[in-house]
Amino acid sequence: MDGHTRVYGLIGDPVEHSLSPLIHNSIAEMFKENFVYVPLPVKKENLGEAIKGAYAFHFGGMNVTVPHKQAVMDYICDIDEVAAQIGAVNTLLWTKDGYKGFNTDIIGLEKSFASDGFDVTGEEIIMIGAGGASRAVGILLARMNAKCIYILNRTKETAEKLKADIVKYYPDAKIEVLGLDEYSRIPGFYQKKFNVVQATSVGLSDDTKAPIYNDDFYEHVNFGYDLIYSPLETLFMKKVREKGGKAVNGLHMLLSQAIASYEIWREGLKDE
């Protein structure tokens, strides 16, 4: 580290569990890059000041995690087309006019689906959650031509808004909105098994919590994909496996999206 060291970071709440500093600082070491990546815990009410301060300190870029992926859009000067579709940002790039927002979650997720064998095309997919992380998932599921996307969420209003946003870009997408406890209303639910994406923060750093607890739900999960990677096995994943299904966490997605973020930052250096 010296006077030319570039600084990058992760803003969110919490960030203590994150593996992103380890990943990015390992990338720096591997490629002999003169940068450092630090965790930056930021409360919701301080987000605007945090972005302004980071820009003033010339942070070259940042990753954005829960709960700021949508709110951060109010504090950037430009947004990538894919991130605009998703309606959420997880990567910021310093520019002369302010930060530009990108979304690399969708890149990491698509690569992870392919390598882990999580089938989407022509399948009925259940997505749990309708928050910031869910937006990338929903757009990708529609783009990959899922037969039907069932969004299970605590508040239906939030899920209906997500549905409308997805259909705006993918008008042929078939999407149904249900409450968390209404999965039995999915046509033929008890005669089928489903691939399920768990896209809420429930279970983050706490393996005693899950978005759904009922065993009869997990009996009909063929493949459970949890975006959470800490703990490595969430209660959601444990329940899927106990009922004979396959389950994976979001670690592969994290690694893939981190590499995509790094590539954006490296490309951005050419324009400074």
pTM of the model: 0.89
User: Tokens 């006019």 identify what position?
Assistant: 97
* 55 within 8 A of 98, measured Cβ to Cβ: yes
Domains of the chain: 6-103 (3.40.50.10860), 106-252 (3.40.50.720)
Output the 3-class SS for 99-168. Answer: EEEECCHHHHHHHHHHHHCCCCECCEEEEECCCHHHHHHHHHHHHCCECEEEEEECCHHHHHHHHHHHHH
Active-site residues, by number, are 69
What letter would DSSP give residue 238? H
Per-position pLDDT tens, the chain of length 272: 899 999 999 999 999 999 999 999 999 999 999 999 999 999 999 999 999 999 999 999 999 999 999 999 999 999 999 999 999 999 999 999 999 999 999 999 999 999 999 999 999 999 999 988 899 999 999 999 999 999 999 999 999 999 999 999 999 999 999 999 999 999 999 999 999 999 999 999 899 999 999 999 999 999 999 999 999 999 999 999 999 999 999 999 999 999 999 999 998 876 66
Give the separation between CA 12 and CA 256, rounded to whole angstroms. 19
Q: Across-strand partners of 9?
A: 38, 62
